[in-house]
Amino acid sequence: MRFTIDKEQFLKGLLIAGRGISPKNAMPQLLCFKLEMTTIGLEITAFNGDVTVFTRVPLKLNEKEIIRNYSLGSSLINAHFLTEIVRKMEGSELSLDVIDESIAKIDDGNSVFKLPCMNSDEYPDIDLEKTGSTFSIGCTELTKLVEQTAFAALDKDTRPILNAINLKAEGGQFTALATDSARLSRKAVAIDSSIVFNANVSAKTITDIVKLFENNYEVEVCSTGEKMILSFGQTVVSTRLIGGEYPVKNSIIPQNFNYSLQINASQLLNAIDRVSILSSDRAAIVKLSMNSEGIEISSSGDQNGSGSEKLSTIQYQGERLEVAFNALFVSQAVKALGAEDVTLKFVGEMKPFVVLDPKDDSVVELITPMRTR
Amino acid sequence: MRFTIDKEQFLKGLLIAGRGISPKNAMPQLLCFKLEMTTIGLEITAFNGDVTVFTRVPLKLNEKEIIRNYSLGSSLINAHFLTEIVRKMEGSELSLDVIDESIAKIDDGNSVFKLPCMNSDEYPDIDLEKTGSTFSIGCTELTKLVEQTAFAALDKDTRPILNAINLKAEGGQFTALATDSARLSRKAVAIDSSIVFNANVSAKTITDIVKLFENNYEVEVCSTGEKMILSFGQTVVSTRLIGGEYPVKNSIIPQNFNYSLQINASQLLNAIDRVSILSSDRAAIVKLSMNSEGIEISSSGDQNGSGSEKLSTIQYQGERLEVAFNALFVSQAVKALGAEDVTLKFVGEMKPFVVLDPKDDSVVELITPMRTR
């Protein structure tokens, strides 16, 4: 295998595929990219046991020659070193030449590197065939769906199914659900397909994957029962599903509320941030005291002291109410909505409450209050 | 004690004094600032056992009132929480009021915080009297003196005297010397004083202190035998000296060389950075191969592969020579010089070599080569 390639496009391909590398993998092959020079482009594959990332650097891009002077073949080359070398080389073009199947020589006319490489027969078989239900969604929409929900998944290993985001298509709706059991995020969007689909995917993995999207890709989503495959542009990503039934249903979200507070999102975030200062924990307990005369937010850091401030609100409807909550949960929910104003709706002091975007009813952030002593 | 104070100036004072706080100090008083409201301003003191930082927020600054509506007194208040509260408060002015000697109430008209505080009698006695030899130096000059040398001090605890930078005034010269025993940095500047002075100060501490300089301060430097005191603007910093005689003399630096290489600094840095990629260590071994026909820089990462590149040089004088060195040491030395071009001068393959700024002979960076197998 040999090729001369545009440096920027090569680096871009390596950085995409790099999302499929786990740097601490115990299997030496899986620390490598599989590079394969084909008649349509250079194919780069990475696999870490759960996730496969496959991407192609095409021979030409917008009429510009990207790869020239190539001979077909394949090889396994250390992903970290190859990426760093390509990143730091100064030439606009570089050549990669595999010598005796054991050394890859990389040369930009000034710097020359020699990296050991392995025969690609030693790489596991990768199956990216889309055999299951498939539908399309815009990448911006899928990114928002993930970013507004995935943060609510459990980030500890205590209950694997809660590390997942549940993705479900049914009756023309595509719904994402994530919960760590103390809070829950749900977003539902309409899709132009009557497909039925139910997959639990690692929230961390899918959050990584949506970072690869660019331009206005349509993303083709396919679930085969054992894995979910996303195809976009020159890239295909496959991720193993988390087994078991997702333990939370849509119906957990209350529909009727007795109290409603509308407030500017950044004012709320800043106030939570300030009154949380005295907490020794990342998860400060913050209390909202609401009545028709005004809204106060406060926290007590016990022996560290206490803080409070008045909030100017857009609207409050309801009787007097005090609700205490995990500051981090409410901040993350408000940030995920990305709205100028947010609405908090309560059933009662110790019942789960919701954080909503008054202008977008596709997303609900549900949070369980905390007991204060 | 109470005062109403300009928020920005208060925060600035707290951030300066904060350099004297060690957040993991076991003594609760030393996690506090000592605040003292006097007739000339608010005095903020921090002390961590080795370093004292004292600074004053004056009543007026350029005719602008900074502090008003004050009553004299003093108190100890947690440094971290006070700084974070003042940083995050939104008002341009805030009031601090000590109630019953036990609670400090901080109020910007919107947020109100209550912090526990301690009686200032519980604070250790701080002596900042300048009893020893004293001279003045411009802060820019002192900063450069420190930044061009202190990085070469030992950063492990194995030999405390080598954690120091040796500062010596003699015969109208002020010299800084730092070494970790594998490399050495020296810089000497002329001072307008015939003072004699010899102090070993923690390289880490003095690197922190020079970051506090701003404007065109003259810094008054005083060594009392047990500590060094630096005064500048409204701030006084005192640091305990490291005992013992500094083990390295000026005379270790060779004066006559057989080989000389002049090269563009950023070209050399980039080349070292690139050929070091394959090293698994932070301290890659890099080899320079020089002769009249050309200069090559190379490294071998053993099982990881190897890299090499040609350097275009400004000038090389000498026979054929190969020298291997710690890439980090040469990179740090070149960066410390901050020059466009650098000169490397060698005695022979295994003798210490120097890195110099051809336009500034005040500073010498000496490096011991490494043996390659």
Q: Is the pLDDT of residue A280 over 80?
A: no
Identify the bridge partners of residue B363 per DSSP, sorted by sequence position. B187
B311 contacts in A (CB within 8 Å)? none
Q: Taking CB atoms and an 8 Å cutoff, what residues of chain B touch A303?
A: 116
Which residues contact residue B63 at a Cβ distance below 8 angstroms, ignoring those fewer than 6 apart? none
Contact B3, B93 (CB under 8 A): no
Dihedral (Cα; A343, A324, B87, B106), 10-degree rounding: 120
Does B373 have pLDDT greater than 60? no
pLDDT for res B121: 95
B196 touches chain A (CB under 8 A): no
Count of alpha carbons within 13 Å of B179, Cβ hemisphere only? Answer: 17
Where does the pLDDT of residue A41 fall: very low under 50, low under 70, confident under 90, or very high at 90 and above? Answer: very high
Question: Over 60: is that where the pLDDT of A334 sits?
Answer: yes
Instruction: Please compute the mean of the pLDDT values over residues B133-143 and round it to a whole number.
Output: 92
CA distance B52 to B351: 42
Are the Cβ atoms of B304 and A115 closer than 8 angstroms?
A: yes
Q: Is residue A282 pLDDT above 80, yes or no? A: no
| Alpha-carbon gap, residue B149 to A324, rounded angstroms | 54
Residue from A71, A50, A51, A68 nearest A59 by CA: A68
Residue B129 has pLDDT above 70, yes or no: yes
Interface contact flag, A278 B306, Cβ < 8 Å: no
Looking up tokens 């994530």 gives A178
Give the per-residue pLDDT at B214.
84
Contact B22, B88 (CB under 8 A): no
pLDDT digits (tens, 9 = 90+) for B51-90: 999 999 999 999 999 999 999 999 999 999 999 999 999 9
A281 touches chain B (CB under 8 A): no
Q: Does residue B353 or residue B196 have the better pLDDT?
A: B353
How far is Cα B297 from Cα B324, in angstroms, rounded to an integer?
Answer: 9
Q: Is A99 on the interface with B (CB under 8 A)?
A: no
Amino acid B292: pLDDT: 86
Contact list in A for residue B310 (CB cut-off 8 A) is: 110
**Of residues A91 and A131, more confidently modeled:** A91
pLDDT of residue A131: 84
Residue A221, Cβ neighbours under 10 Å: how many?
Answer: 25
pLDDT one-digit tens code per residue, B246-275: 998 777 899 999 999 999 999 999 999 999
CA distance A173 to chain B (A): 43
- The ipTM value here is 0.87
Encoding tokens for residue B309? Answer: 């590149």
Average pLDDT over residues B172-176: 94
Q: Mutating which of A114, A282, A310, A312 best tests the B interface, going by the most B Cβ atoms within 10 A?
A: A114
Q: Do A277 and B84 touch (CB under 8 A)?
A: yes
Secondary structure of B244-270 as H, E, C letters: CCCCCCHHHCCCCCCEEEEEEHHHHHH
Question: Do residues A203 and A150 make contact, with C-beta atoms less than 8 angstroms apart?
Answer: yes
CB contact under 8 A, B114 and A310: no
Amino acid at B369: P
Give the mean pLDDT of A25-29: 93
Residue carrying the six token digits 């999302």: A19
Does B69 lie at the interface with A, CB-CB under 8 angstroms?
no
Q: Which residues of B touch A307 (CB under 8 A)?
A: 85, 111-114
Contacts of A373 (CB under 8 A, 6+ apart): none
Stretch (H or E) spanning A234: none
A84, A90, A270 member nearest B277 (Cβ): A84
Distance, CA of B285 to CA of B278 (rounded, Å): 10
What residue type is assigned to position B338 of the chain?
G
pLDDT score for A214: 84
Looking at residue B73, its pLDDT comes to 97
Is the pLDDT at A281 greater than 90? The verdict is: no
Beta-bridge partners for B76: B34, B118
CA terminus-to-terminus distance, chain B: 69
- Phi-psi category of B372—alpha, beta or left, where left has phi over 0 and alpha has psi -120 to 50? beta
**The pair of three-digit structure tokens given for residue A152, joined into one six-digit string:** 């609510």
- H helix count then E strand count, chain B: 6, 28
Nearest to A88 among B277, B301, B303 (CB): B277
pLDDT on residue A217 = 82
Cβ distance B278 to A113 less than 8 Å, yes or no, reads yes
Question: Which single residue is written with the structure tokens 């080569």?
Answer: B369
Q: What is the DSSP string of B111-167?
A: EEEEEEEE-GGGSPP------SEEEEEEHHHHHHHHHTTGGGS--SSS-GGGGEEEE
pLDDT recorded at residue B372: 76
User: pLDDT of A162-204, one tens digit each?
Assistant: 999 999 999 999 999 999 999 999 999 999 888 888 999 999 9
d(CA A207, CA B52): 47
Identify the pLDDT of residue B224. 85
**pLDDT interval class at A373 (50, 70, 90):** low
Nearest to B309 among A110, A277, A307 (CB): A110
- Beta-sheet strand order (sheet of A183-190): A197-202, A164-170, A173-179, A183-190, A360-367, A353-357, A341-346, A259-264, A315-317
Tens of pLDDT, residue by residue over B4-58, are 999 999 999 999 999 999 999 999 999 999 999 999 999 999 999 999 999 999 9
- Round the average pLDDT of chain B to a whole number and report it: 94
CA distance A272 to A266: 10
Residues of A in contact with B89 (CB under 8 A): 274
CB B164, CB B200: distance < 8 Å: yes
CB contact under 8 A, B307 and A278: no
Q: Percentage of residues in chain A with pLDDT exceeding 90? A: 85
For residues B330 and B367, what is the distance between their CA atoms, to the nearest angstrom? 7
**Per-residue confidence band for B162, with pLDDT thresholds at 50, 70 and 90:** very high
Structure confidence at residue B282 (pLDDT): 63
* Coil, strand or helix at B110: coil
Closest in A112, A271, A273 to B308, CB measured: A112
pLDDT at B255: 93
In percent, the amount of chain A with pLDDT more than 70 equals 99
Dump pLDDT digits (tens) for B347-359.
Answer: 999 999 999 999 9
pLDDT of residue B123: 96
- Amino acid sitting at position A250: N
SS3 A16: helix
Predicted TM-score (pTM) of the model is 0.90
Q: Considering Cα of B330, then B332, then B334, then B340, what sign does the dihedral take? A: positive
> Per-residue confidence at A310, pLDDT binned at 50, 70, 90?
very high
Closest residue on chain A to B89 (Cα): A274
Closest-CA distance, A307 to chain B, in angstroms, reads 4
Across the interface, of B88, B273, B274, the residue whose CB is closest to A274 is B88
When the pLDDT of each residue in chain A is averaged and rounded to a whole number, the result is 94
Most confidently modeled range among A39-43, A167-171, A291-295, B153-157: A39-43
Neighbours of A127 (CB within 10 A): 12
Please name which of A44, A90, A91, A37 lies closest in space to residue A67, comparing C-alpha atoms: A37
Helix A327-337 crosses helix A265-275 at what angle (to 10 degrees)?
A: 160
CA distances from B27 to B58, B103, B205 (A): 29, 20, 20
End-to-end Cα, chain A, rounded Å: 69
Contact between chains at A90 and B270 (C-beta distance less than 8 A): yes
Closest by CA position to B145, among listed B367, B368, B360, B358: B360
Q: Give me the residues of A, 296-315, that contact B with CB < 8 A.
A: 301, 303-310
Query: A239: exposed, middle or buried (C-beta count within 10 Å: 0-12, 13-18, 19+)?
Result: buried
